[in-house]
Amino acid sequence: DSGVTQTPKHLITATGQRVTLRCSPRSGDLSVYWYQQSLDQGLQFLIHYYNGEERAKGNILERFSAQQFPDLHSELNLSSLELGDSALYFCASSPRGDPLAKNIQYFGAGTRLSVL
Amino acid sequence: DAKTTQPTSMDCAEGRAANLPCNHSTISGNEYVYWYRQIHSQGPQYIIHGLKNNETNEMASLIITEDRKSSTLILPHATLRDTAVYYCIVRVLMNRDDKIIFGKGTRLHILP
């Protein structure tokens, strides 16, 4: 158990809909990262938040957005869903900023999104 | 971050040592070698990392060549539960933009 909690585990929805994926980082971790894993693209970095602020963006579509709340949990919002958005979405957390933490990211179990 | 090259897949007999190679010939002086693995559809799991000295922990050993252009992850006594995709990643220890760029990794099959 990595200590990172993602909900829900599975999500089935229809095209055009909007969903929210939730991530609770390990206790005390300030950084949250979101990754997408689809069959043809592998693991792709989406976005990084540190203590409530956006730090880096990767291959994240404009239809997708994220935020990190004062209690450090994060949400990834996916809207106007398309069939191609079906994927596993992983959240990771890291203490970042602590040299002893060695820049290790701890991943949650993921949310499997199926868009029908 | 430097690029890495790994074999697409490997087989290893259960109980034997699994040696997974990784080439990172463009590695910079401040970049570390990290290994993660992903067991089928689970979240990636950190295994080990190192700079230039060999490292060992409860999961594996990491051997880095003297010129740091390649490394080998060693699982000393592979079990069926070690069947996974193993990712070799090169990145700095502390960086403002410290996302992980995953390649395709090596799919390791442990054979009974």
Element (H, E) at B26: none
A21 contacts A74 by C-beta, under 8 angstroms: no
Kindly state the average pLDDT of the residues A77-88. 97
- Give how far A106 is from chain B: nearest CA, Å: 7
Say what the pLDDT of residue B69 is. Answer: 95
Residue A100 pLDDT more than 60? no
Do A2 and B45 make contact, defined as CB atoms within 8 angstroms?
yes
Which tokens hold the place of A64?
């997708």
Say what the pLDDT of residue B106 is. Answer: 97
Query: Residue A1 — pLDDT band, cuts 50, 70, 90?
Result: confident
A110 contacts A8 by C-beta, under 8 angstroms: no
Helix or strand or coil: residue B81? helix
Say what the pLDDT of residue B1 is. Answer: 62
Kindly state the average pLDDT of the residues A76-103. 86
- Can you tell me the distance from the alpha carbon of A75 to that of A114, in angstroms, rounded to the nearest whole number? 18
Average pLDDT of every residue of chain A: 92
Say what the pLDDT of residue B33 is. Answer: 94
- Give how far B101 is from chain A: nearest CA, Å: 7
Question: What contacts A38, CB < 8 A, 6 or more positions away?
Answer: A44, A84, A86, A87, A88
CA distances from A61 to A58, A90, B15, B108 (A): 9, 16, 45, 32
Residue A19 pLDDT more than 70? yes
Say what the pLDDT of residue A68 is. Answer: 97
Do B94 and A106 make contact, defined as CB atoms within 8 angstroms?
no
- Can you tell me the distance from the alpha carbon of B86 to that of B47, in angstroms, rounded to the nearest whole number? 9
A48 contacts A37 by C-beta, under 8 angstroms: no
A110 touches chain B (CB under 8 A): yes
- Can you tell me the distance from the alpha carbon of B79 to that of B75, in angstroms, rounded to the nearest whole number? 9
User: How would you write the pLDDT of chain B (112 residues) with one tens digit per residue?
Assistant: 668 999 999 999 999 999 999 999 999 888 899 999 999 989 999 999 999 989 999 999 999 999 999 999 999 999 999 999 999 999 876 666 678 889 999 999 999 9
Interface test with B, best of A105, A113, A114 (most B CBs within 10 A): A105
- Can you tell me the distance from the alpha carbon of B36 to that of B59, in angstroms, rounded to the nearest whole number? 11
Q: With beta carbons under 8 A apart, name residues in chain B contacting A4.
A: 43
- Can you tell me the distance from the alpha carbon of A80 to that of A100, in angstroms, rounded to the nearest whole number? 41
Q: With beta carbons under 8 A apart, name residues in chain A contacting B104.
A: 42
Radius of gyration over every alpha carbon of chain A, rounded to an integer in angstroms:
14
Strands A19-24 and A5-7: antiparallel
Say what the pLDDT of residue B96 is. Answer: 61
Q: With beta carbons under 8 A apart, name residues in chain B contacting A105.
A: 44, 46, 100
